Every structure is written in structure tokens, then in C-alpha cells.
Amino acid sequence: MKIDYKETTNDLLKRIDIHNKFGGRDIDQWMLELLNIEKGSKILDVGCGAGKQCFKYYDTLNGDCTITGGDVSEELLSQARSENEKRGSAITFTKLDFNKPFDFPDNSFDLESCCFAIYYAEDIPFTIREMHRVLKPGGRLFTSGPMPSNKKLFYDVIREATDNKPTPPMPGSSRYGSAILETMKASFSKVDVSIFENPLTFTEVQPFLDYTRASLSEDRKLWTSFFQGKDDFDQIMKAIQKVSEDWLARDGKLVMTKVVGGFLATK
């Protein structure tokens, strides 16, 4: 499956910021409790983006660990490297395309993570095989991604704003809890599944619109059936604004619940 997608630094950071400001729960805390990482661990974070999870691991272990963050986006890697320099932390950020063989020997890492990224893989079994190969025996792979019921409000508003125009399947919610989970189960000796629910509560429309804009532009190429004409994006955003204003006036708040799966596999 060829996926035409490119994350931009601004869109990714905008969504992370909105999760932090409007979410009731902390996803990193949830992940760290599940992982219970040990000092001295050798960790690889695949699809590390601007380094969010790498910095959490580093801070949790007070730097007593070896962390490599890999991503295909030079723009996000350079953002991660500047932050690394600013903090004086010793994380290695390197180019890694998970559609190609990983440039690491077999049995290298104690822990590997891939947060909100694995579903962009073109060939899931290939990527999971590579992830499995570079883990030490007994090592663990943690992935996170959206479950099918993720951010229902976002899709409900879009449907109402576009007179039920069919929304294209997103690689995350359409593949993460199904094909990806099944492939992990087939490759690893054990896979534990945890679900994280985080309601984002908006009492004004603007941050919800900012989130929607950042999500739709992130996945813009995946929404081709929605944005055929060159003005379509702005027109649909206007219709989304009208529906969200009406729903906010009716309900007093907009609640969009993130429903995330965390799959922890042991080699």
C-alpha cells in the first residue's frame, strides 16, 4: 500500500500542543507506566518525529540509557536535533525509512517504540519483521495508534458539514487495531493490548478548528476525494466552522475523545 503522506513540523506540533492544553490525561505518562523502562536500556524510537518520546525516555532515566530516534523527515529530525542540543541531552537522531531495511544489526535493542507512525508503512509485515529483527531476544516493541472510534466528533462534524460525503479511510484507524495488531501477534511471542481514552474538551471553537485544520492538512493527500477543486479546502473549513459553532451553542462544549491503542509485544 503506497501512502502519499508527509507530516509537517507545524501541523504535528500544533496537534501535540492542543492535546496538552485541552486533554484531561497525559498520554506520555500512560506510555511510561506501561513500559516501565529500565536504566541502561538501549532504545530505538522509529518515526520519532520531533523527538517527543525520545526526550521522555531520556528524562525518565536521567540520561542513563542509549537512545536513537529515527525518522524519514529531515525537517522533523532537524527540529529534534536542535531540541537535543538546547537540552544538552545525548540522543542520536538519524534518518530511517521504515519501508527499507533498518541499518542496525540483529538483536541490538532492549526496547523499540513506534508512536503514531507505523500505520504509514507501505508493507506492514516487512516493517514489523525489521522491528523484530533489531530487537534483542526478550526485547519489547511498543506501538501506539488510533483505534476505529478515535476522535468521533471530528468525523461527525465533517460529515454534517459536507452532507455526508464519504470520508476516505485513514491509514491509522482503518489498519492499526486490525492488520497491524494481527501482524504483531503473528510475529511476537506475546502482545498486550491497552486502550487510552483522552477527552479533549473545547469551550471555544477556535482550538477545535486549529486541530481540524492541522489534521486535515497533515493527511491532505489522503483526503483527495474531499479536496478536488483548489478552493475546496477553505470552503470545507468554513462549513466545519459553522457546524462546530452551532454544536457549541447547542451543547455548551465540544468533546473530542482520542481513543488510542498501545500494543506491547515481547520478542
Which of 98, 196, 208, 226 is in the footprint of ligand SAM by CB under 6 A? 98
How far is Cα 220 from Cα 257, in angstroms, rounded to an integer? 22
If binding is defined by CB under 6 A, does position 102 make contact with ligand SAM? no
CB neighbour list of residue 200: distance below 8 Å, 6 or more residues apart = 18, 19, 22, 23, 24, 211, 255, 256, 257, 258
Smallest separation, CB 114 to ligand SAM (Å):
7
* Separation of CA 187 from chain center: 22
Which of 22, 116, 188, 247 is in the footprint of ligand SAM by CB under 6 A? 116
Q: Which residue is nearest to ligand SAM (CB)?
A: 49
Smallest separation, CB 157 to ligand SAM (Å):
21
Which of 35, 37, 65, 96 is in the footprint of ligand SAM by CB under 6 A? 96
Range 48-82 burial, b when 16+ CB lie within 10 A, else e: bbbbbbbbbbbebbebebbbbbbbbbeebbebbbe
If binding is defined by CB under 6 A, does position 52 make contact with ligand SAM? yes
193 bridge partner residues: 263
If binding is defined by CB under 6 A, does position 258 make contact with ligand SAM? no
Which of 8, 66, 99, 217 is in the footprint of ligand SAM by CB under 6 A? 99
Per the rule left: phi > 0, alpha: psi between -120 and 50, beta: everything else, 175 is alpha
Smallest separation, CB 262 to ligand SAM (Å):
12
Q: Please say which residue, 53 or 84, places its beta carbon nearer to ligand SAM.
A: 53
How far is Cα 267 from Cα 133, in angstroms, rounded to an integer? 9
If binding is defined by CB under 6 A, does position 97 make contact with ligand SAM? yes
Smallest separation, CB 172 to ligand SAM (Å):
9
How far is Cα 38 from Cα 138, in angstroms, rounded to an integer? 14
Largest CA distance in the chain: 57
How far is Cα 196 from Cα 259, in angstroms, rounded to an integer? 6
Q: Please say which residue, 76 or 91, places its beta carbon nearer to ligand SAM.
A: 76
If binding is defined by CB under 6 A, does position 12 make contact with ligand SAM? yes
Residues that bind ligand SAM (CB under 6 A): 7, 12, 47-49, 52-53, 71-73, 76, 96-99, 115-117, 120
